[in-house]
Structure 1
Amino acid sequence: MSNKSATTSATVSTEGPIDHSIELGHGNSPAAWTCVTVMLVGVIVGCVAFLIGESAVILFWIGVAIIAVGLVVGVAMKVAGYGVGGSKLKNNGH
């Protein structure tokens, strides 16, 4: 065992107090929800393939491909204006 102390050195910001009034969004948008949902389907497919065993190697890689497709769909929807603060989500008064 080591005799070193369990304390860690934390970096302290000298830029002033943190502004907690800024809205972060946390990815609550159609693009984020679609991306996560498609990727979740890919994970489920991969998990089922993993449980089946060696005979489902192709099914596992299909699950991995679905995860990649989910990422691409999420980015495409963000570019199309469905991300946080996107043009398609702004209230235009109608």
Structure 2
Amino acid sequence: MADNHGNTPAAWTAVAVAMLGFVVGGIALMLSPVNMTLFWIGIALGVIAFPLFLVMAKMGFHGSRDHH
């Protein structure tokens, strides 16, 4: 189990991008008429969050930090 509990730049970035996707998609659904282009942009942001996390983790942004 990781000692960092997801408190890493990779995890925070992925969560922020996913949250942005949900906000954009939610706003698109509240517009009248519904803006499907904006909705799909929100969906794309949400889907991109996980691969972004994986890439950042491979780059070393998800490793444990030494607190000595």
TM-score by length of structure 2 reads: 0.81
Task: Please give the root-mean-square deviation of Cα atoms over the aligned residues, in Å.
Answer: 2.3
Counterpart of 1:83, as a letter, is H
Asked whether the 8 Å contact 1:27–1:84 carries over to 2, the reply is no
CA contact 1:28–1:84 (8 Å) conserved in 2: no
Secondary structure of 2:35's counterpart equals: helix
Match of 2:27 among 39, 44, 48: 48
1:32 maps to 2:11 = yes
Kindly report structure 1 stretches of 4+ aligned residues shifted beyond 4 Å.
none
Q: TM-score, structure 1 length as denominator? A: 0.61
Which residue in 2 is equivalent to 1:71?
A: 50
The percent of aligned pairs where both chains have the same amino acid is 33
Q: Which has the larger radius of gyration?
A: 1
Q: Which runs of 5+ in 2 are unaligned?
A: none
Alignment of 1:78-89 (within 5 A): 78-85=57-64, 89=65
